[in-house]
Structure 1
Amino acid sequence: QVLATARAPRGAASARHGLTGLMALEGMTTHAAFAAGEEAVAGRIAPGFRADLAAFAVDPVEAPADETAQA
């Protein structure tokens, strides 16, 4: 949530340094797998890839970060 809103728990950081929902999702999936050298086996939902899945009540890419944190 801090990365998406650019707000620290105690107040505002800089809104221009926040990430979009898509940027945050990619950072936790495809980009993380690439950084770990595991892009051939992890980082996306595809046949033969490892995956930990999470279900949300809202779309984490489109919903405001505050709603995603509560979902």
Structure 2
Amino acid sequence: MNYQPFLEMNLLVSDELVSVFHQLLPSVILFLVATFYLLMFLHISLFSLWKFLGQPPKKRPYMIELSNE
């Protein structure tokens, strides 16, 4: 079994482990990207719901329309 230094550290990693890591790398990257977009969608949805269900804006005196009746 051939061992090689890993990222200039004192860890020795086998070739089999490196090959398995390279096989799993696209899946891990896809999972991280999907997780990021899912959390962003959840954040935007909850923020929109919070704005929608929040208190209505207060009517300020300068915002009230005066009727000339």
TM (norm. structure 2) is 0.24
Higher Rg: 2
TM (norm. structure 1) is 0.24
